[in-house]
A and B are shown apart, each in its own frame.
Chain A
């Protein structure tokens, strides 16, 4: 038996309790939530039962699965952010690549096991209700959980990379948060930019519309996918092939989701490659110190800060200024003290310039000064 095989067997055994607790928790949530909705339905009207049970699964299980995709990378890789642990693992006959693979694969197994048990619970519930007049197709939960697993696996993989880039658990968690917020900011900014030349009323309408839309951040993939499946289910004849047909039809229509999905799948593939590389080259002596990898605070603070400032350009001045303050706090956390480096001040300075310029443009647009000037 190879070192990898020995370690994965040992590791899966040692996290068995955690695995069972997480899987049961998700299954219980799926089951209980669905039951609560059904309890409020008029029993005997099968259509309501079916809709309610899917509603319960989709809104809650997808949400829980996304949370797991954030928690599991932390649980799996946090031990390798501690110097004491590193003395054991990195001096042992396990290669760093094996250690990474075990962490990554066992995380995926936890995710899959949780979703599988939830699927079985929900399927069992459907079988029981089918005996009482409902008409659930058991293919549906299979498709639903399959799609959920693939999309959460994408989120999980990207999160593994982000967490591994950090030199401490706290930094890793901050990376996950920063990264999750950036795509939303960018989407908002793009929308604002597109609508800048229209009048203020239109702009406000667009912002409202935009705020209720999905931003297609990586963590939203599972929710978007499963919500679409829900739509497919409501209208479908509950037969597997037809569900797939519906899947095809909405995929064809909603090309934006397809584009985002491709982007995030590619990002996940790149994340997996770089996570393995970063882990194998990790400088153990830096653990606990500032997380100074390029893809870390160095990129995430300005990326989050600038996109946030730009996406707030029509709001009151306090909000983007608050963003600058958060950026400053981010640098303080990064440098583990208030003694910031020149590059940090430069990034903050650029943020301040962006703030001023965007406020001026915003003011000019709102008062039609810009269009008059351009004319």
Chain B
């Protein structure tokens, strides 16, 4: 379990994280969501011990990442990981084997061959996705209790992404690992994270299971055979209204019956509820936090 209590972090006078509090439970995949510059990478660096904690407390069970021994169980995969001009998959194996005594060379080799990476070729000659695959292989070979992944899916093709997610899910089940994964690809996080952290304007503003269970956000498609324009929805407090031809897609929050009744009052010819995807819910949450109103 990772406990983050009252963490603040700043770069000189620029405060990046302010009063961050959350708990990441064991056997859990936690999605870290936020716009560019929101502090996702900073938070991961604070959690991994790269940045010393300026204020507050980060505890793995009851130990700080400042203790080198604790970091045996932590693996940070940054968005731009380290390798030299001479680095090959084979060299990196030696490096990580030296750093992490529990490193499993067989797992590494297995993943490298699964992705069909040449172990003797310099990593600098690899594509962005191939480099990512190499470091993913290293992460699984280390097999940490706590895995911190920054922009994890960046550059990966759909097949690699699925294989990656599947591995994470298996690792979490088997070892009870805690994985914190940050990504801009919100859709990617939707189908395998158990919980989400939303960082915006220095704060972690939401740390519960916002999307799948608790969010009271509803999305309806309404069809008006005689056509429709935005004026029809003026009296309705919706998060978003999109009109394409005779079809209007409306996202609203609140009590489901009330939402349904309000929309039925508009007399659509056909009305159907559809699922709210993760991205829509995220944008909605963000909009609400910033005092944002209706998106039309």
Contacts and interface: CB of A to CB of B under 8 A. Distances in A.
Do chains A and B stick together as partners? yes
Interface of A: 3, 6-7, 9-10, 84-88, 90-95, 98, 281, 283-286, 289
Interface stretch (B46-54, B194-202, B277-285): B46-54
Contacts of B71: 91-93
Given A85-B82, A94-B99, 11 more contacts: A6-B99, A9-B98, A90-B48, A90-B49, A90-B50, A91-B71, A91-B74, A92-B100, A93-B71, A285-B9, A285-B11
B50 A284 contact: yes
B5 interface: no
A6 B11 CA distance: 34
Contacts of B42: 285
Contacts of B95: 10
B241 interface: no
How many of chain B's residues touch chain A, expressed as a range? Answer: 20 to 34
B49 A88 contact: no
23 contacts: A3-B68, A6-B99, A6-B101, A84-B78, A85-B82, A87-B45, A87-B50, A87-B76, A87-B78, A87-B82, A88-B81, A88-B82, A91-B45, A91-B75, A93-B69, A93-B72, A93-B99, A95-B68, A283-B51, A283-B52, A284-B50, A286-B11, A289-B11
Contacts of A95: 68
Contacts of A85: 82
A158 B183 CA distance: 44
Chain B CB within 10 A, most for which of A6, A9, A87, A95: A87
Contact of A84 (B9, B49, B80, B94): B80
B56 to A, nearest CB: 15
A3 B100 CA distance: 9
Given A6-B98, A87-B50, A98 B68 contact: yes
Contacts of B69: 93
Contacts of B52: 281, 283-284
Contacts of B45: 87, 91, 284-285
Interface in B1-18: 9, 11-12
Contacts of A6: 98-99, 101
A221 B265 CA distance: 93
Nearest to B69: A93
The DSSP consensus for interface residues of chain A is helix
A284 B48 CA distance: 12
Nearest to B76: A91
Nearest to A88: B82
B49 A91 contact: yes
Interface in B58-111: 68-69, 71-72, 74-76, 78, 80-82, 94-95, 98-101
Contacts of B72: 93
Given A84-B80, A91-B48, A10 B98 contact: yes
A93 B9 CA distance: 23
Contacts of A87: 45, 50, 76, 78, 81-82
A86 B52 CA distance: 12
Of all A-B residue pairs in the complex, the 4 with the closest CB atoms, nearest first, are A95-B68, A91-B48, A91-B76, A88-B82
A281 B54 CA distance: 11
Contacts of B99: 6-7, 92-94
A7 B99 CA distance: 7
A110 B69 CA distance: 29
A215 B72 CA distance: 50
Nearest to B41: A87
Interface string B15-48: 0000000000000000000000000001001001
A347 to B, nearest CB: 20
B68 to A, nearest CB: 4
Contact of B81 (A84, A92, A286): A84
B132 to A, nearest CB: 15
Nearest to A10: B98
A220 to B, nearest CB: 36
B42 to A, nearest CB: 8
B68 A94 contact: yes
Nearest to B86: A14
A86 B41 CA distance: 14
Contacts of A93: 68-69, 71-72, 99-100
A93 B11 CA distance: 25
Contacts of B100: 92-93
Given A10-B94, A94-B99, A284-B45, A86 B68 contact: no
Nearest to B65: A91
Contacts of B51: 283-285
Contacts of B80: 84
Most central of B50, B74, B101 by chain A CB within 10 Å: B50
A93 B69 CA distance: 6
A334 B11 CA distance: 17
Contacts of B78: 84, 87
A334 to B, nearest CB: 14
A90 B50 CA distance: 5
A9 B94 CA distance: 12
A284 B80 CA distance: 16
Contacts of A88: 81-82
Nearest to A92: B99
Interface string B137-151: 000000000000000
A90 B66 CA distance: 9
A7 B76 contact: no
A3 B52 CA distance: 20
B145 to A, nearest CB: 12
Nearest to B52: A283
Contacts of A281: 52
Interface in B231-281: none
